[in-house]
Amino acid sequence: MCCKEYSTTRAEVVAASVTEWIDDPRVPGHQVGWATVPALEYVRPVQRLAVRSPKKNGQWGVSMLVSASDPRQRDRTERAALRPGQPSCGCAA
């Protein structure tokens, strides 16, 4: 299960920890990357996937997807995110 993080400020701070951005092959200009800072504000362990896209003013718009799935599913999520016909986050539609 995953959900969107609604705090833009928090999403931007966490997105700054991404060390590798990957182009989304289905949405030109969009990029995704795994956050590397610990998510201490959650009760359970979570994985956070940052999503960024260019805004009209040339800056990046950033959002964050939060998943409480088992961390071993991270590789499956990455593969699913790059598969046609699946949501960009790799989560169930």
| pTM for the model | 0.69
8 A C-beta contact, residue 62 and residue 45: no
8 A C-beta contact, residue 34 and residue 49: yes
Partner residues linked to 34 by β-bridges: 49
pLDDT tens by residue, the chain, 93 residues: 556 566 788 889 999 999 999 998 888 999 999 999 988 888 888 888 999 999 999 999 999 888 887 666 666 655 655 555 555 444 544
- Map out the domains of the chain as residue ranges: 15-81
**Non-local CB neighbours of 69 within 8 Å, separated by 6+ positions:** 1, 2, 47, 77
